[in-house]
């Protein structure tokens, strides 16, 4: 069953004293299956936030079709099914976290708000700061409160705009855990983010959006198998060994088209350097075996970029060049 | 109703935290106390002076607060983007505007009640008789302020805070002065039929605030006509409802980019 169905959505903004039209969405279409995590990825101004705002009823579409669990997007019935976390959410500074959640519960016409708010505070780990004014919250706390308010009313669909932006690694981990647990609870989630490796960890499918159009919609498994082709090894070796390693790889192993990159932070005074070798998966596998045999210290072995970073850089880069 | 109450209560909290509100109250009190020192100058007209002062201050301070608060009450939600979190919830835009209006009017009512207590004390201190007409006039001031609030929220739904404040001030001033301006030297009678028609339409659109000014009751022997009271209440409510409906129509088309 489709939780969200969007077809041929169009939106043009008109702004300025002398009206200027800017096309934000142009024939945008995608579907999100119930219980899955779907991520909208794209460069700034691609139309991710506009799409989300149309789904939650903050912006009206010009043309097209958008439904949420068979309810017209933007209608009160559809809003009952949605929890929304905007990008950089702002709360009333003078309210505490708990007071804001109670206020949100009132907007959902919830009668047993104290009980529901208490459960959410516990679920999101807000116990230690829910009695503090929101103005004193860190970015991570703000995002967690934002997620908590989005969960009021037990919505089936969650729309999170940049939930990980500006949050430190510990905070990001916490939010990723929350998102995974929400999926386990059966929620459908639509995300947008620029932190692609994090998205890759949690999403089920991806919609790549460019100039208001979905240019690719794919499951994350398919993308990883297609794009995770370049790998890297980081070695620790002596400066004098760099040339030897290079020669052995090129002459003995007969591997060409390999990138060697010495870390720029290595001090002139020390003899040890970090050497990054980037190449195709099969070549890097051979180099890895060789390094182990020769007793070099392998610091890291991983894909060069995450699959999402690669598809993002390649697809958007190609489109930018053709335009 | 729970949703409207929540918006209204939240609006009340926002407004009561505004320092400018307390500054206006202090100025009102200072003016009120000043009226006590006019006693030696007024030659037996103290009642008229004290009552005039009290009602004028209550009205103008109420108007000032309505303009200052009204122009910010919705705009602050846009500016701080808190509106994203509210309108993404299952609350209609109509309920949001009604809640905002109620919160705004209740906060003005609270200030007006505080001022009325202070002015009652001033009346008692100056040994001027306190009559029921004081409370009738107070009621009529609230009817005037109900209209001013609805005009203020109407302009704040589409204009910037400054232009909203200017439009509200001009509309209120026109509402106060248009009928008296037309009565000067029978100006209206001297106009062409077309001008009369236009002026009639304009005076119909503008709020008849001067018609709701009942200060005269408190220091003259004119008795209150209850039909007029009923008509005034109905007029104020209908005018405010019309402004709110217009606000709702404008706000329902608004997009939050």
> Count of domains in chain A?
2
Taking CA atoms, what residue in A is nearest to B16? A94
Out of B13, B84, B89, name the one closest to residue A108 (CB). Answer: B89
Tell me, yes or no, whether A21 and A60 share the same domain.
Answer: yes
Contact A94 B13 (CB under 8 A): yes
CB pairs under 8 A between A and B: 75
Contact A92 B14 (CB under 8 A): yes
Query: Which of A209, A226, A243 is the endpoint of a domain?
Result: A226
| β A82-85/A157-161 pair status | parallel
Tell me, yes or no, whether A213 and A245 share the same domain.
Answer: no
Report which DSSP code applies to B40: G
Q: Could you tell me the residue range of the domain that residue A260 belongs to?
A: 229-305
Query: Which of A191, A226, A261 is the endpoint of a domain?
Result: A226
Tell me, yes or no, whether A116 and A216 share the same domain.
Answer: yes
Contact A103 B10 (CB under 8 A): yes
Tell me, yes or no, whether A280 and A214 share the same domain.
Answer: no
- Return the pLDDT at B91: 92
- Return the pLDDT at B74: 86
Average pLDDT over residues A203-221: 88
**Is residue A312, in this structure, part of any structural domain at all?**
no
Tell me, yes or no, whether A173 and A110 share the same domain.
Answer: yes
Please report residues of B whose CB lies closer than 8 A to that of A133: none
Tell me, yes or no, whether A81 and A29 share the same domain.
Answer: yes
Distances (CA, A) of B239 to A99, B165, B202: 35, 19, 14
Report the CATH number at residue A221: 3.40.50.300
Query: Tokens for A220?
Result: 């994350």
Whether residue A266 has pLDDT greater than 60:
no
Tell me, yes or no, whether A96 and A110 share the same domain.
Answer: yes
Average per-residue pLDDT in chain B? 84
| β A230-238/A71-72 pair status | unpaired
Is the Cβ–Cβ distance between B52 and B31 less than 8 Å?
no
Tell me, yes or no, whether A238 and A140 share the same domain.
Answer: no
**Is residue A310, in this structure, part of any structural domain at all?**
no
Whole-number Å distance between alpha carbons of A70 and A64? 15
Contact B89 A13 (CB under 8 A): no
Please report residues of B whose CB lies closer than 8 A to that of A149: 85
User: CA of A231 to nearest chain B CA: how many angstroms apart?
Assistant: 41
Judging by beta carbons within 10 Å of its beta carbon (0-12, 13-18, 19+), is residue A243 exposed, middle or buried?
A: exposed
- Return the pLDDT at B248: 95
Confidence of residue A39 (pLDDT cuts 50, 70, 90): very high
Closest CA to B202 of B235, B178, B226, B234: B178
Average pLDDT over residues B164-172: 90
pLDDT digit string, tens, across residues A97-143: 999 999 999 998 888 888 889 988 988 888 888 899 988 988 888 99
Whether residue B179 has pLDDT greater than 90:
no
Please report residues of A whose CB lies closer than 8 A to that of B3: 106-107, 109
Query: Which of A174, A204, A226 is the endpoint of a domain?
Result: A226
Sequence-separated (6 or more) residues with CB below 8 Å from residue A262: A242, A273, A274, A275, A276
pLDDT digit string, tens, across residues B111-160: 999 989 988 888 888 787 888 878 888 888 999 999 999 999 999 888 88
Contact B10 A92 (CB under 8 A): yes
Contact A86 B88 (CB under 8 A): yes
ipTM of the complex: 0.81
Please report residues of B whose CB lies closer than 8 A to that of A92: 10, 13-14, 82
Is the Cβ–Cβ distance between A149 and A75 less than 8 Å?
no
Report which DSSP code applies to A44: T
Report the CATH number at residue A281: 3.30.70.100
Confidence of residue B89 (pLDDT cuts 50, 70, 90): very high
**Is residue A318, in this structure, part of any structural domain at all?**
no
Mutate to test the interface with A, among B90, B96, B103, B252 (most CBs of A within 10 A): B90
Tell me, yes or no, whether A52 and A198 share the same domain.
Answer: yes
Hey, which of A144-158, A285-299, B20-34 has the most confident mean pLDDT? A144-158
Is the Cβ–Cβ distance between A66 and A6 less than 8 Å?
yes
- Return the pLDDT at B217: 64
Judging by beta carbons within 10 Å of its beta carbon (0-12, 13-18, 19+), is residue B43 exposed, middle or buried?
A: exposed
For the entire predicted model, the pTM comes to: 0.82
Contact B88 A56 (CB under 8 A): yes
**Is residue A322, in this structure, part of any structural domain at all?**
no
- Return the pLDDT at A263: 65
Tell me, yes or no, whether A46 and A129 share the same domain.
Answer: yes
Tell me, yes or no, whether A88 and A147 share the same domain.
Answer: yes
């Amino acid at each position: 069953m489709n939780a969200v169905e969007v077809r041929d959505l169009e939106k043009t903004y008109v702004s300025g004293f002398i009206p200027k039209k800017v096309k934000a969405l142009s024939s945008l279409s995608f579907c999100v299956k119930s219980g899955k995590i779907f991520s909208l990825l794209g460069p700034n101004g691609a139309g991710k936030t506009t799409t989300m705002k149309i789904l939650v009823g903050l912006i009206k579409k010009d043309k097209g079709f958008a439904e949420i669990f068979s309810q017209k997007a933007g209608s009160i019935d559809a809003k009952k099914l949605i929890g929304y976390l905007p990008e950089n959410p702002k709360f009333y500074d003078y309210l505490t976290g708990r007071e804001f959640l109670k206020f949100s519960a009132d907007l959902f016409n919830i009668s047993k708000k104290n009980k529901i708010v208490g459960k959410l505070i516990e679920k999101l780990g807000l116990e230690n700061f829910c009695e503090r004014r929101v103005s004193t919250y860190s970015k991570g706390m703000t995002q967690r409160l934002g997620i908590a308010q989005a969960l009021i009313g037990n919505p089936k669909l969650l729309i999170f705009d940049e939930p990980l932006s500006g949050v430190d690694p510990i905070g990001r981990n916490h939010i990723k855990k929350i998102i995974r647990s929400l999926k386990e609870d059966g929620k459908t989630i639509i995300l947008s983010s620029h932190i692609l490796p994090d998205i890759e960890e949690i999403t089920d499918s991806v919609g790549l959006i460019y100039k208001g159009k979905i240019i690719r919609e794919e499951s994350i498994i398919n993308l990883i198998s297609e794009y995770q082709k370049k790998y890297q090894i980081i070695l620790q070796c002596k400066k004098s060994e760099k040339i030897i390693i290079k020669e052995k790889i090129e002459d003995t192993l007969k591997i060409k088209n390999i990138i060697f990159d010495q870390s720029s932070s290595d001090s002139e005074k020390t003899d040890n350097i970090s050497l990054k070798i980037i190449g195709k998966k099969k070549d890097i596998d051979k180099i890895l075996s060789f390094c182990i045999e020769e007793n070099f210290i392998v610091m890291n072995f991983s894909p060069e970029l995450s699959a999402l970073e690669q598809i993002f850089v390649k697809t958007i880069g190609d489109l930018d060049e053709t335009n | 109703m729970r949703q409207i109450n929540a918006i209204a209560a939240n609006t009340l909290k926002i407004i009561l935290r505004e320092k400018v509100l307390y500054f206006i109250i202090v100025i009102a009190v200072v003016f009120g106390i000043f009226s006590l020192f006019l006693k030696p100058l007024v030659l037996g007209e103290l009642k008229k002076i004290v009552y005039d002062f009290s009602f004028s201050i209550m009205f103008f301070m109420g108007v000032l607060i309505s303009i200052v608060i009204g122009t910010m009450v919705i705009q602050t939600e846009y500016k701080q983007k808190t509106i994203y979190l509210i309108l993404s919830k299952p609350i209609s835009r109509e309920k949001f505007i009604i809640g905002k209006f109620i919160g705004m009017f209740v906060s003005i009512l609270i200030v007006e009640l505080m001022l009325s207590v202070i002015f009652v004390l001033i009346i008692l201190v100056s040994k001027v008789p306190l009559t029921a007409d004081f409370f009738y006039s107070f009621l009529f001031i609230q009817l005037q302020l109900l209209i001013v609030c609805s005009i203020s929220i109407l302009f704040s739904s589409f204009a910037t805070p400054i232009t909203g404040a200017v439009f509200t001030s001009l509309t209120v001033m026109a509402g106060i002065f248009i009928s008296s301006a037309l009565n000067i030297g029978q100006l209206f009678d001297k106009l062409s039929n077309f001008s009369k028609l236009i002026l009639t339409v304009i005076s119909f659109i503008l709020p008849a605030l001067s018609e709701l000014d009942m200060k005269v009751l408190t220091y003259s022997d004119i008795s209150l006509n209850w039909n007029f009271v009923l008509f005034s209440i109905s007029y104020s409510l209908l005018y405010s409802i019309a402004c709110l409906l217009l606000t709702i129509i404008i706000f329902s088309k608004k997009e939050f980019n």
